[in-house]
């Protein structure tokens, strides 16, 4: 049963620290998405990739967030420096088509104190 995996599942860090979240998309999926979910803002698209190339990162604060796909089996989302307002659940999702069905990972719950 193919699944998207994310690590870590939970992360507590202090303000100013660097945070790196990792995602392994489903094998064969060429589109990867990063979302952030909070009670106030709902589910926000931060960035997405097709065939490892970034297509849209307009939802991401550029000064502190960066997203990459070093290879087809790994996507990373980095926050440096982290701030308390970054506290949220970060989901990675993958799919065969950018506008098609998306498979979500279990999420990384980030708390920045």
Residues at the interface with another protein (CB under 8 A): 33, 35, 42-43, 45, 48, 50, 55-56, 91, 93, 97-107
Tally of CB atoms within 10 A around 77:
23
Strands 108-112 and 10-13: parallel
Burial of residue 72, with CB atoms counted within 10 A of its CB: 0-12 exposed, 13-18 middle, 19 or more buried? middle
Q: Least distance (Å) from another protein to the CB of residue 48?
A: 6
Residue with smaller CB distance to another protein, 57 or 81? 57
Least separation in angstroms between residue 19's CB and another protein is 19
- Pairwise CA distance, residues 13 & 100, whole Å: 35
Nearest distance from C-beta of residue 57 to another protein, angstroms: 11
Asked if residues 73 and 96 have their Cβ atoms less than 8 Å apart, the reply is no
- Between 26 and 81, whose beta carbon lies closer to another protein? 26
Q: Would you call the peptide bond into 81 cis, given omega within 30 degrees of 0 as the criterion?
A: yes
Indicate the residue among 22 and 81 with the shorter CB distance to another protein.
22
* Smallest distance, another protein to C-beta of residue 22, A: 16
Is 12 or 97 the residue whose CB approaches another protein more closely?
97
């Amino acid at each position: 049963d193919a699944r998207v995996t994310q690590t870590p599942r939970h992360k507590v860090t202090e303000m100013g620290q660097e945070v790196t979240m990792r995602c392994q998309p489903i094998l064969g999926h060429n589109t990867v998405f990063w979302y952030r979910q909070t009670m106030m803002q709902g589910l926000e698209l931060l960035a997405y990739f097709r065939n490892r190339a970034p297509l849209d990162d307009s939802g991401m604060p550029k000064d502190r967030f960066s997203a990459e796909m070093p290879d087809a089996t790994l996507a990373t989302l980095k926050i440096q420096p982290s701030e308390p307002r970054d506290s949220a659940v970060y989901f990675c999702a993958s799919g065969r088509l950018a506008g098609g069905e998306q498979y979500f990972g279990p999420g990384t719950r980030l708390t920045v104190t």
